[in-house]
Chains A and B, each alone.
Chain A
């Protein structure tokens, strides 16, 4: 098993659809993250879960809804997305909690999302 696994790898959805992205980590980490990577923009942190509690990023639209049922799994529920939400969505995990300085993240392969 690879360290951080994301499914699906590619997703095309209409603006009225509801879909979910899944992430699973096999590294025994206690923090998980969702990042968005759009063309020509830096990686944007969307959500952080530490010890299964959410540290919310208030700038993320409510059409994105995260869920962390346990320390190994993370979901991103999508509904009524816009075409500008098309991007690469990356899941990551780390060994330390976000409150500690020396946090290095390990990434999954990402889900390439296209909203039509």
Chain B
């Protein structure tokens, strides 16, 4: 079964530290990868997308993709208490016949301690 796996956490980091969130996926043919942030009681918000191997930086966020290892990560530099949320990894997995389905992991809960 095609899946997206994340460590559910919680992951606790002190304010100012780097938070590292990891995600693995099962479909070698996947080409599109997304990170969403979801605050408690709110809907998921897209924060990063990545399509090519390597790093993609946007402010304090860096997404890293390694297709050979089927691994995508999100680094948050200078973590702030406002970064405390659940981070969802999403991957477009093949659902057959040339179609793709956006599949989410269970999410990693991040707590940034002041």
Contacts and interface: CB of A to CB of B under 8 A. Distances in A.
A94 B42 CA distance: 19
Contacts of B51: 102
A40 B98 CA distance: 31
A27 interface: no
Interface string B16-53: 00000000000000111010000000111110010100
Contacts, number: 58
A104 B33 CA distance: 9
Q: Tell me if B's interface is mostly helix, strand, loop or mixed.
A: strand
B58 to A, nearest CB: 14
Interface stretch (A41-49, A61-69, A79-87): A41-49
Interface stretch (B59-67, B68-76, B102-110): B102-110
A44 to B, nearest CB: 8
Contacts of B105: 42
A107 B100 contact: no
Interface size on A, as a range, is 20 to 34
B112 interface: no
A99 B100 contact: yes
Contacts of A43: 44, 88, 104
A102 B43 contact: no
B12 interface: no
A71 B35 CA distance: 26
20 contacts: A40-B106, A41-B106, A42-B103, A42-B104, A42-B105, A42-B107, A55-B99, A94-B102, A99-B98, A99-B100, A102-B31, A102-B92, A103-B32, A103-B100, A104-B32, A104-B34, A104-B102, A107-B45, A108-B43, A110-B42
State the 8 A-B residue pairs at the shortest beta-carbon distance, nearest first.
Answer: A43-B104, A107-B43, A101-B31, A42-B106, A102-B32, A110-B43, A101-B32, A42-B104
Interface of A: 33, 40-43, 45, 48, 55, 90, 94, 98-110
